Amino acid sequence: MGKDSKAKDSKAKDSGAKGKGKQAASGSDENASKGKGKGGKAADGLGTCTYVKARHILCEKQGKINEAYKKLQDGWLSNGDKVPPAEFAKVAQEYSECPSGKKGGDLGWFPRGKMAGPFQEVAFNTPVGVTSAPFKSTHGYHIILSEGRKN
């Protein structure tokens, strides 16, 4: 039991996709973003928080995703506010090149292992209610809004 709190140095920083986001299912958004000690519990990372509900915006070009992100920043993020899902959905409908864009970027619930590498890593490590910064995957550039977690 006591060793879990010490594991933060060995696992949390290096584990990438494997460790950080899984404990946020307990509802503690506060610490999940810092990743403090969250990585030490199950080194494989696959058996814990198994589903995430998310919306995303996908653009082929970096310039376009940056425009979308600027819209989210100007409206909410720069003020320290969370982007409301309905507002994220409007930006997704305007900018996203993924078929989900028509549904406001809604991907629904998806299990760990379904999405490609960087997308899964960001989706499972972004605390509920938080909008990720733009990032690149094999499909293009994404912004994710995390809407839920469950096992």
pLDDT of residue 87: 98
pLDDT of residue 49: 82
**Residues 57/65, Cβ–Cβ less than 8 Å:** yes
Three-state secondary structure of 20-68: HHHHHHHCCHHHHCCCCCHHHCCCCCCCCCCEEEEEEEEECCHHHHHHH
The answer to whether the predicted template modeling score (pTM) of the entire model surpasses 0.75 is no
The Cβ of residue 120 has, within 10 Å, a number of other Cβ atoms equal to: 19
The percent of residues in the chain predicted with pLDDT above 70, rounded, is 68
Q: What is the pLDDT of residues 66-98, one digit of tens each?
A: 999 999 999 999 999 999 999 999 999 999 999
pLDDT of residue 48: 65
With 50 as the cut, is the pLDDT of residue 3 above it? Answer: no
pLDDT of residue 21: 41
The percent of residues in the chain predicted with pLDDT above 90, rounded, is 66
**Residues 122/142, Cβ–Cβ less than 8 Å:** yes
Query: If pLDDT is split at 50, 70 and 90, which confidence band does 31 have?
Result: very low
> How is residue 65 written in tokens?
């995703």
Distance (Å, whole) CA 150 – CA 66: 30
